Amino acid sequence: MGSVPVASFTITKLSWLHRTEADVWARMARVCLPHDWLTWRLTGRLSTDRGDASGTGYWSPAGSEYRYDLLEIVGDDVDWPSVVPPVLAPDEPAGHWDDGTGAPVVACGTGDNMAAALGVGLGPGQVALSLGTSGTAYVVSDRPTADPTGAVAGFADATGRFLPLVCTLNAAKVTDAIARVLGVDHPRLDRLALDAPPGAGGLTLLPWFDGERTPNRPDATGTLVGLRTDVTRDQLARAAYEGVVCGLLDGLDALDRAGAPVSGARIVLVGGGSRSTAYQRVVADLSGQVVEVHGDEEQVAKGACVQAAAALHGISPTEVAAAWKRPPSAEIEPDPEVDRDAIRAAYGALRDAS
C-alpha cells in the first residue's frame, strides 16, 4: 500500500460509515473524492487520478491498482469494482465539458500537494515543505515508498512518479495563534521572530495545538518550556516558528528513514507561509540547506493549469511543468553560525517527553 491508513484516509471514513450509518451505507452507489465529483458534474463521467486515489488507502501506487481485498474488509456486501471510479493516467483527459457542444477538454485533476509539486516544477529528488494551516514535507521519487510506521504516506504524484509525504496538523495556524496572543499582524510577528536569537533564548514550543497527526497524538495540546522572568515577545515569536519548522524537519527525517530521496542541498518552500521571511530564515538555518521561494503565490492553482494545458494539447504534464517553470524569486542561505543541532535536540527532548 505504501502507508498505514490514518483517520483522514477515505478507507477509514468508509469503515466508520459502515459501522455507524447503516441506512446511508445501504444507499451508497458510488464512492468518489470532491474533485472526482466536480469532474463528474463537468463531464458526466466519474473518474479520478493517481494522486488523489493514492490517498484513499485502497489504491496502491506501487501496483497501480485498487486493493479490493482491503475494501472487502470494510464491507463485503458491496460490488467494489462498480463503486470506485477508474484511475486515469497523468496525460489522460477526463472527458469534455458536458455543455451541449462537447468541446472544452477537462483534465483529470489531482490532490493539493500533487498540484503544488506540478506548479513549481518539482523534479525527482527535490524536496518541498508546504506551510499552510497544516504542513507537509514531501519529495518527488521515481520509486514507491512504503513505511510500516505510518509516518510517511506513500502517495503518487500527478506525473506518473511518486510523492512520499509526511503531514503535520499544526503549521501556519500556530504562528497565527501566537500573532493573535501578541496582538500583532504577520509582518510584525516576522520582525519579532527575526529580532530574537536562534534558539529563542532557551524557549521551546511543541506546536501540537490541535492534536497532531505526525506523530499520532490526536489528543495532544501545545507545550511551552524554558520560560524565565526575562522572557520577551521576540523569544515567543521565534519559538513558534522554530517549533513548526522542527516538526516539519522531523517529517524529512521520516522520509529519509523510509528510503525517500531527500539528500539534496535545497528545499522548496510552498504554501501561504512560504511568503514569511521568518519561516524562510528558520527553515534555512535549522535544515542547513538553501531555501528556494517561488514568486507564484498559488502553486496549487498553477499545477491545475499545468494539467489543463497538458490535456488541451495532448502532451505530458511533466513537459508543461518544465516549460512553465520559473527560477526562484528568492534563495536563502543557511547561517553557518546557528547551532541547529542544539535547537533540534531541545525540540526532540520535549517531543519525546510528551
Give the C-alpha distances (Å, rounded to integers) separating 330 from 50, 54, 296: 32, 32, 12
Residues with catalytic annotation? 112
Q: CA–CA separation, 275 vs 147, rounded Å?
A: 32
**Helices assigned H by DSSP within the chain:** 10-20, 22-27, 34-43, 50-53, 68-74, 80-83, 112-119, 172-182, 186-195, 233-257, 277-287, 299-313, 317-324, 340-353
Radius of gyration of the chain (CA): 21
Q: CA–CA separation, 207 vs 244, rounded Å?
A: 6
Query: Are 46 and 81 a contacting pair, CB within 8 Å?
Result: no
Give the C-alpha distances (Å, rounded to integers) separating 137 from 67, 171, 214: 26, 11, 11
3-class secondary-structure state, position 348 = helix
Q: Report the alpha-carbon angle 262-268-271, nearest 5.
A: 125
Q: CA–CA separation, 299 vs 118, rounded Å?
A: 8
Length of the chain: 354
